[in-house]
């Protein structure tokens, strides 16, 4: 039964299947990352998404290199990665004719998605209060930097700046180094996902009330929400989290280790896994030593435990020991490059890389539904 379900959501000919959001219409006025990512997730799962760009286009069309020539124009990989399955058009919303056209589009829409600076839509007479009177069932989703009010209300927000302000950089970096930005726009992407969740919650509630509502997903809130377990630790002991490199602040061994061939990552979360690890490495005696016999003890005595493990791993082949440990049930993985991860056999099996026509290749939706899978119908407009 599991294999049958798996085949369903990885159907080779799924472009004609109705998605879970089929019949839902979204007007996507957003640009850059968080909003467009939200729109792409909704579109992957069947929503009709119309991407409305200003006359100069979404800024990210020029965020490169790399660029690809499509229909005589150079389009960035950055833009292509966030806007598939959408129809496209341009409108100048600063003009009355542009706003009139938008109101026509909204007549049949369920959701409007935007990330204008707070006050811009209101200045144009198309803010939530204005639109909700004309379209009471419309869900208005705004992706913002800091929300509309408060000490930072209305200010523009950017992923890296929020990583710094929300404390994320302060826990990311080598033990003796400087705080580092996470190497991908994690705040923007999680903000987009939170916007998706908000839209789906509002659509669900509308089936009871018949009314739309305002949904906001801010970068600042999303950044703060990512602080687990550091925030939970601080609430309890009030100790400032410190840089720890790849090591987990609460458990050990949960860290990267060099081997004779490649670096690997161990994620040992309980005593059973630690016992299995020791057995696989021929270090059975470690599991019986008081300093390492329990998870709290291993975390406290991580420096001495690390020395034992480094000495052993330095003599082993990384790929082989990873495979052995994973088969035993010990979470472990080689540290792969982006190209190696995208070309991995399991990436192919899970169909996590997809193509649309000759000009588009991208990462597939990670959300797997058995009857209404994600589909990939339109290259970015």
Is CATH 3.40.50.10540 the classification given to domain 2-226+353-363? yes
pLDDT given for residue 188 in this prediction: 98
Q: Where, residue-wise, is CATH 3.40.50.10540 in the chain?
A: 2-226+353-363
pLDDT along the chain (381 residues), means of 10: 48 67 98 97 98 96 94 93 98 97 97 95 96 98 96 94 97 95 97 98 98 98 98 97 93 96 96 96 94 95 96 95 96 96 97 95 97 96 94
317 is catalytic: no
Q: Where, residue-wise, is CATH 3.30.1540.10 in the chain?
A: 254-339
Sign of CA dihedral 198, 202, 205, 207: negative
Please state, in angstroms and rounded to a whole number, the distance separating the CA atoms of residues 190 and 168.
Answer: 13
Q: Which residue is associated with the tokens 């292509």?
A: 80
Give the DSSP per-residue string, 148-187: SSSTTTT----HHHHHHHTTTGGGSS-TTS-----SS-HH
Please state, in angstroms and rounded to a whole number, the distance separating the CA atoms of residues 277 and 254.
Answer: 12
pLDDT given for residue 9 in this prediction: 46
Cis peptide before 253 (omega within 30 of 0): yes
254-339, superfamily in CATH?
Answer: formyl-coa transferase, domain 3 (3.30.1540.10)
Please state, in angstroms and rounded to a whole number, the distance separating the CA atoms of residues 247 and 255.
Answer: 4
Is residue 336 within 8 Å of residue 344, measured between CB atoms? yes
The residues pairing with 263 across neighbouring beta strands, listed in sequence order, are 258
Q: What pTM value is reported for the model?
A: 0.92
Is residue 325 within 8 Å of residue 312, measured between CB atoms? no
State the catalytic residue, choosing from 58, 188, 221, 255: 188
Element (H, E) at 284: helix 284-288
Please state, in angstroms and rounded to a whole number, the distance separating the CA atoms of residues 145 and 149.
Answer: 11
Please state, in angstroms and rounded to a whole number, the distance separating the CA atoms of residues 188 and 185.
Answer: 5
CA atoms within 13 A on the CB side of 21: 26
């Amino acid at each position: 039964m599991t294999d049958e379900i798996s085949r369903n959501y990885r159907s080779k000919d799924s472009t004609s299947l109705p998605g879970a959001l089929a019949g839902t219409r979204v007007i996507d006025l957003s640009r850059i990352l968080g909003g467009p990512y939200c729109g792409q997730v909704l579109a992957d799962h069947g929503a009709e998404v119309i991407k409305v760009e200003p006359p100069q286009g979404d800024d990210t069309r020029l965020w490169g290199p790399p660029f690809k020539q499509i229909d005589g124009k150079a389009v960035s990989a950055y833009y292509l990665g966030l806007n598939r399955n959408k129809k496209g058009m341009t409108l100048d919303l600063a003009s009355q004719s542009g706003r009139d056209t938008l109101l026509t589009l909204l007549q049949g829409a369920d959701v409007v998605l935007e990330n204008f600076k707070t006050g811009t839509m209101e200045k144009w007479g198309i803010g939530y209060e204005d639109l909700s009177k004309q379209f009471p069932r419309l869900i208005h989703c705004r992706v913002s930097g800091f929300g509309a009010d408060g000490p930072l209300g209305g200010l523009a927000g950017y992923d890296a700046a929020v990583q710094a302000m929300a404390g994320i950089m302060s826990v990311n970096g080598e033990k003796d180094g400087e705080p580092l930005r996470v190497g991908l726009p994690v705040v923007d992407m999680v903000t987009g996902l939170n916007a998706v969740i908000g839209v789906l919650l509002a659509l669900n509630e509308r089936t009871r009330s018949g009314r739309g509502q305002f949904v906001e997903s801010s970068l600042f809130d999303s950044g703060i929400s990512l602080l687990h377990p550091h925030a939970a630790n601080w609430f309890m002991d009030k100790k400032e989290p410190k840089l720890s490199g790849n090591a987990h602040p609460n458990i050990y061994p949960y860290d990267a280790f060099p081997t004779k061939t490649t670096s690997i990552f161990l994620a040992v979360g309980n005593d059973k896994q630690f016992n299995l690890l020791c057995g696989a490495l021929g270090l059975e005696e470690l599991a019986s030593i008081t300093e390492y016999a329990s998870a709290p003890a291993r975390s406290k005595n991580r420096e001495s435990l690390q020395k034992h493990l480094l000495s052993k791993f330095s003599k082993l082949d990384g790929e082989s020991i990873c495979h052995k440990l994973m088969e035993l049930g010990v979470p472990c993985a080689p540290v792969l490059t982006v190209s190696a991860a995208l070309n991995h056999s399991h990436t192919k099996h899970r169909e996590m890389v997809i193509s649309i026509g000759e000009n588009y290749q991208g990462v597939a939706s990670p959300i797997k539904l058995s009857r209404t899978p994600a589909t990939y119908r339109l290259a970015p407009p």
